[in-house]
Amino acid sequence: MIAEPNAASNLPSRKENAVHDETVPESAAQNGTCVRNGNLKTPREKRKVREQCENIRRNSTGSRRVSQLQNGEVVEAVTLFEVVSMGKQAMQSVVVDWVEAYKQDRNVALLDLINFFIQCSGCQGMVTAEMFQSLYKKDVMRKMTETFDKETGLQYKKFMAYPWILTVTWPVDMDNEDYPLIRTGPYWKKFKANFCEFIAVLVQQCQCSILYDNYLMDTIISLLTGLADSMVRAFRHTSTLAAMKLLTAVLSVHLNLDVNKHNAQRLYEVEKKRISGKRTSYRLDQLERKRKEYDHKLLEIQNMMNAIFKGTFLNRYRDVIPEIRATCIEEIGSWIKTYPDAFLNDSYLKYVGWMLYDKQAEVRLKCLLGLQGIYSRKELASRMDLFTNRFKDRIVSMPLDKDHEVAVQAMKLLMLMSQNCEDVLSAEDCEMLYQFVYATHRPLAVAAGEFLYKRLLSHEGDKEVQPRGGGKFGASTDQLKRLIRFFLESELHKHVAYLVDSLWDWAGKFLKDWECMTTLLLKNAEEAGEALSDAQESALIEIILAAVREAAEGHPPVGRGAAKKILSVKEKKIQLEDCTKITEHFIMVLPQLLAKYSTDAQKVANLLQIPQYYDLDVYSTGHLEKHLDALLREIKDIVAKHSDMPVLEASSRTYSILCREEMAIYGQVDCARTQMIDELIKQLNQLLDCFWQKEGGFCTDAGEISRMHSALRRVAAFYNAHDLTKWNLYDKTLRFLMFEMEHGNLPVLIILPALQCTYFSLLWQLAAVSENSPKESLFPLRRELRRFSQICTCFLHHKEKDVREKAFMILCDWLLILSHLDSNNNEEAVGFLGYLPNTPLQEKLFSFIKEHVFTDEEEEKKDLTEEGKDETCKLDDLHKKRSLLAAYCKLIVYNVVEMTAAAEIYKYYVKTYSDFGDIIKETLSKTRYNNKIQSAKTLILCLQQLFQTHAESQDSSSGVDFSSPSFANMKELARRFSLTFGWDQVKSRESIAMIHKEGIEFAFHGATGVDGKCLPPNLSFLLIISEFSNKLLKPDKRLVYSYLQRYITEPLSCRGDEWQPLVWYRNSLLANEDEETSVLGSLGEWPPMGSSKTSFKRKLSNGSLPETSQTEAASKAPEQQCASQLPSAVGKSRKRLKSQEMCLQEHLPFLCPGGLRRRYCKDEVKAEDVSEEGPAEDTIEDVDVVGTDQDS
């Protein structure tokens, strides 16, 4: 075998250990003798024959030497395998040389080719051959075996490759998962392509000469058939790929022969007519012989194809290895497409149809790709009626496949079927497929968008469908109306952005036809009856907004696509052009649309979002300031008319976008904004004068309260995006909150916007703190910050649920902001104004979450029954709960609240998984990223609290009931926690170790009795932490096991049923230790622990290790150092971890007792006592650990 490019320097040594080929000398082959390793008596004789065979092989291939520069050194390729490994540069010449060698001595050349296939299988063994012409058939069949020789430790594969019986010998420990075809990296990917190319070139070079000699192809086919029947995966995979590519290459020869035969037949007919009535000419006889020769060759080619198909394909298309099945299906798809006259029938199509149900996505994908090649040609699709009827339902269901690529290709196949097969898809099928435009996976949605556009919207080629609307926008208008109708009928009105994104690649032209869309909106009902209904107008406005956003931003909507894609230069140019067109058109049209729909809150809220995608320079460069004035007037009127928050927020955002200081239009917009806010504040002051009465009360008139509510909402909406500090609104809004705290009579309609206004006012004051702000000026601000925190805390217990939830959301954001202040590098201000919640406040926050989010199911059902809520209300309530939980979890993630508070949240992970599982899991992930050790302690704390609650609810006399639902829930929760650590055991090593350490200490906490013989009260907790045992590395399992032994001194006391949790936990630690498990299991008791005895009475404080003897205490490290040093023995490369306790005490957190030394052997496990005077010599077992460095 040739070395990889990065190991070229080792090539000479690699060649010495390469595959040994024992070829048969020509004289020996002719005499029918056998050259086999087993027939030679001495090593000297074996070496002599091997050298002789090597000389013959090298002499035969001497003209085929190829040199290539690798890593600065010249590497010479001698064998076919080495040449193919190097690349395609010399492929043609090498094959030509091999053909010439075959013509000189076909036996030696064929054995060289046989050895090539064996080497390509990754076999590091030996190939021998013997002639079998003199053997009877039954003797031949007896030799066709695949056995294992126990004495030599070698595997033997014997099979027939005409005219030889080949014997392949290889070590039994040959890595079945590592051979050239499945190795990763660009080098081996090229090897696979070169391997396939070699077979194609070989057949191409042989087609005019030796392909039909009844020797070459018989040998190759029998070789590949024999190897494809092996139990060794490498042989099966390599030979199957070779056989399939061989059939493909032979098929191309068949097609060429077919063309030549057809041409010869035409020439024959012409010549026959030309000499009609005359004697037979020489030319006619020559053409007749040529035609018969083509017939003979075609017959031989057909026999070769049948032999490969029946000998390899029929046995391997159902192989247990998915790569082999995929190879077979991929090739049969190409055969059907290339040579439909022979393969496009049910005898071959059925295999493709059957494998559509394969469990592996790779195989299903190859089936779909093959069918796409067939259905893309209309002349072939018309011959697929029976297959289509049989497997259509399966194909229609495959867009739901769990593999994204399979789903995408299935949708593309259905598109081809609908185009080239008449009435193959029913209306129900199409309706189901249309809905995939709302899929979150964008390639699938785009494929469904193509299906929807070509099937429903465009009607390309359908002459019966004519545009009903005349004039300039007739065709686009009809397409838009069909799209609107589909959108309304799908009843997924909030997903219009997904619909537009799915159609963008196919219908982008008419989706960018802003003029047509706005003209359709501005039409009057009297104009030829083409005006839209109210629902259609709303849908069209949503489509316009989504299309504008897609054109301006150039990336998919949120939730479809992992991140914003990087636009190419061409895409950026198109994006800028679209932004300019949007601006130029809507600058003039948008004021008209706002004027028409000024009373419709939903339409206005959508239309007001369009200016954020403007190129604002167009206003000044195009001298369109008059249109800006018209827009500002319309927005001002809309703010005066509406009090809905979506409309007000959209208006405020539009002013914020237009009022940028760097823009030329800033002065004009700022003047209009100031004028509008002056009017709002003036209206609010007038209402306040009427609202507060002289007696210290307030006006209870419903009309006044409603007007006050609207005014406060308008101010709150603009306070969010604009600094209104100069209007002095803080004291006015704070008065509402103080009055509510003292008297508690204000309506909710006033409390909520007043709370928001006060919050925004303080945020703007915080943002105004400059670098040079004196400390004296910060005292009033600090006082107001603390006061507002107290107000929000007080409102957590308000009688109105809406007020409680609003106060909680604001308080969480408020605490997050105050704990992460960044006042323009003014460190003194940060320290002075910063604020962290104290313990009572943290408890109140969690109590709120427990009461409002994690409510009992019975209470929830009771509330739903009483209020008669429908499905929409349930979803709204769930959304509110998720928002509350996310706000609280944010405090945990950003260390505003102690991480241990997450333990209370984790308790509900399993119970509320469907509603809040994603939020809790993300919190766990973020906290683990912040601090792995503390996060692990939080997990174990959660389980400990649940266990204590469970133990308190049980009868103390009966012990812990393992079959109770609460205990089962704890085990399930621990299992879910274990799954969150993933597959990288090295990365999570510290955390898992800490969980076991804390769990063991908790399980034996409180154990009393003479010599520790009394059952620890928390012993059954070991069953809970056993769920984490499978995440331990093997060396760590031994260390945890040793740490566990510290708490066990009397083996006889562990035999009762009440000690079963300890036995089960021990077994989970020794699950992969076959030697220890067998010995300990046979003894039925713990291994002897030595002469040093300890008691269960151990002092546990602050999670420290239990007190031990003086010898142990002298070697014990602090807890934090122990946990952090655990992975220090693991590096980037493969390393040895010594299991010697003296070494482990320096690196790992589990410290064995000073008097204990363990001895590991191959056949048994022993534990021996070591006196303090002279410790015995240890036998060290090395443990291989493969891993990477720990993340910082």
pLDDT score at 566: 80
CB atoms closer than 10 angstroms to residue 80? 23
Beta bridge partners of 1136: 1184
HEC sequence for 572-635: HHHHHHHHHHHHHHHHHHHHHHHHHCCCCHHHHHHHCCHHHHCCCHHHHHCCCHHHHHHHHHHH
pLDDT score at 772: 66
Nearest residue to 948 via CA among 992, 993, 903:
903
Q: What is the DSSP letter of 453?
A: I
Nearest residue to 450 via CA among 394, 378, 511, 504:
504
Query: Would you state the torsion angle of the CA atoms of residues 147, 148, 150, 151, taken in this order, to the nearest 10 degrees?
Result: 80
Query: Is 609:657 a contact under the CB 8 Å cutoff?
Result: no
pLDDT score at 1129: 32
pLDDT digits (tens, 9 = 90+) for 1155-1170: 323 333 333 333 333 3
Strands 146-149, 126-131: parallel, antiparallel or unpaired by DSSP? unpaired
Query: Is 476:513 a contact under the CB 8 Å cutoff?
Result: yes
In 3-state terms the chain splits into helix, strand, coil percentages (rounded to 5) of 65, 5, 30
d(CA 824, CA 771): 5
Q: CA–CA distance from 1058 to each of 273, 971, 1044, 1061 (Å)?
A: 105, 18, 17, 7
Question: Is the pTM here over 0.85, yes or no?
Answer: no
Query: Is 1058:1015 a contact under the CB 8 Å cutoff?
Result: yes
pLDDT score at 886: 96
d(CA 1016, CA 1014): 6
Query: Is 941:974 a contact under the CB 8 Å cutoff?
Result: no
Residues of the chain predicted below pLDDT 50: 1-77, 132-144, 175, 461-470, 528, 866, 1009-1012, 1052, 1054, 1074-1192
pLDDT score at 517: 92
d(CA 303, CA 89): 33
Classify 205 in phi/psi space as left (phi over 0), alpha (psi -120 to 50) or beta.
Answer: alpha
Nearest residue to 190 via CA among 74, 79, 85, 119:
85
Which residue is associated with the tokens 């009931």? 961
Q: Which tokens belong to 513?
A: 């036809």
Q: State the angle between helix axes of 361-375 and 346-354 in degrees (0 to 180), rounded to the nearest 10.
A: 140
Helical residues (DSSP H) of 692-747, grouped into ranges: 702-721, 730-742
Q: Which amino acid is located at 1154 in the chain?
A: G
pLDDT score at 1122: 36
pLDDT score at 1088: 37
HEC sequence for 825-884: CCHHHHHHHCCCCCHHHHHHHHHHHHHHCCCCHHHHHHHHHHHCCCHHHHHHHHHHHHHH
HEC sequence for 364-416: HHHHHHHHHHHHCCHHHHCCCHHHHHHHHHHHHHHHHCCCHHHHHHHHHHHHH
Which residue is associated with the tokens 């649309």? 593
pLDDT score at 1058: 76
pLDDT score at 822: 64
HEC sequence for 333-357: HHHHHHCHHHHCCHHHHHHHHHHHH
